[in-house]
A and B are shown apart, each in its own frame.
Chain A
Amino acid sequence: MKLIRKKKKAAGTYSSSSMSDIVFMLLFFFMVTTTMREEEINVKIKLPEATEIAKLERKDLTCYINVGSPLDALQDKFGTDTRMQLNDKFSSVDDIRDFVAAKREQLSEADRAQLTVAFKIDEQTRMGIVTDVKQELRRCQALRINYLANQPVK
């Protein structure tokens, strides 16, 4: 007695039902790994190159300071002068204090000392503004900084 009866299939067709499984698997992978960009960067930034760099750990403890000249589309509104962007808007050095305080507020008590400020600074920027930012950070007691850079392409 035949228990398993084979279904007869028309030649040339194949089951595509497993395709969706595969695609769903890929989909879940990307859904889990994706991190939505939190802020839109309005300044042009080409990071300088450096070799002695390490991966930035604990992204949740990091806040970013972006410095560069405004994007081409925004230049007729904001000019071409070097600007600093905190969160979503152009800011001045005086705003750093509130920015750091707000970020500190989000962190737990234990993590506050670990707060790192990452510098995303365009390589054409003059050191004057960078120094102003660093002095302001010293005044805010945010002493852990990180100069973001690119690995040179070989």
Chain B
Amino acid sequence: MAKRSTPELNASSMADIAFLLLTFFLLTTTMDQNLGMPRRLPPLIEDEQEKPPEINKRNIMQVRVNSMDLLLVNSKPMEVQFLKEEVKTFLQNPNNDGDKPEKEPKNIELIGEVLVGKGVVSLQTDRGTSYKMYMAVQNEIMKAYAELRDDFSISRFQSPYAKLTEDRQEAVRGVYPLNISEAEPRDKGKKGR
């Protein structure tokens, strides 16, 4: 019987080549996942034809930020970290105050008849306001909404909002609809662009 030896390939350099390629991909790969706050812009209204409906004054919470990044809530100066509580009490109106938003009974699927507040948070910035401050304010308002929705879903469905099924989430969203209106910015403090 003839002795046959299979020619062996020297595979040791193969690892080197693979390592080289591996390092290349390791360095060029970006595993960044983008995180962000999704929003919808209101459609542009063709001028003068139809004006947005007038909103009762008690239903509006005026949040204004000036070019020095100072916050004014319903004409009172405020620090950003207190904004969340203020927005929460405004939207909830626990004592049915006359200067806080009206409530309207609404029939929502899966929940039944509940009182839904008509509150709108109106956010106005200056052209000189920094984006950082704007995002901080937006974040506080979103936090207030998230906490209200969470509280409601725990009392109703015994689980936090994030763990609800999709249609339940939608129902909870119906109880606390996101109403943030962004007014056109002023140009008082002429600073930067």
Contact = CB atoms under 8 A, between A and B. Distances in A.
Interface of A: 16-17, 19-20, 23-24, 26-27, 30-31, 33-37, 48-56, 59, 62, 81-82, 116, 118-119, 121-131, 134, 137-139, 141-151
Contacts of A33: 29, 31
A137 B134 CA distance: 19
A128 B35 contact: no
Contacts of A55: 33-35
Interface stretch (B12-20, B93-101, B151-159): B12-20
A36 B185 CA distance: 38
Contacts of B130: 123-127
B18 A20 contact: yes
B171 interface: no
B43 interface: yes
Nearest to B144: A52
B82 to A, nearest CB: 16
B25 A27 contact: yes
Given A16-B15, A52-B139, A143-B41, A130 B35 contact: no
B132 interface: yes
Residue in A33, A59, A123, A126 whose Cβ sees the most chain B Cβ within 10 Å:
A126
A24 B38 CA distance: 39
Contacts of B26: 30
A52 B146 contact: yes
Given A27-B18, A52-B143, A81-B193, A127 B134 contact: yes
B44 interface: yes
Contacts of B146: 52
A139 B44 CA distance: 6
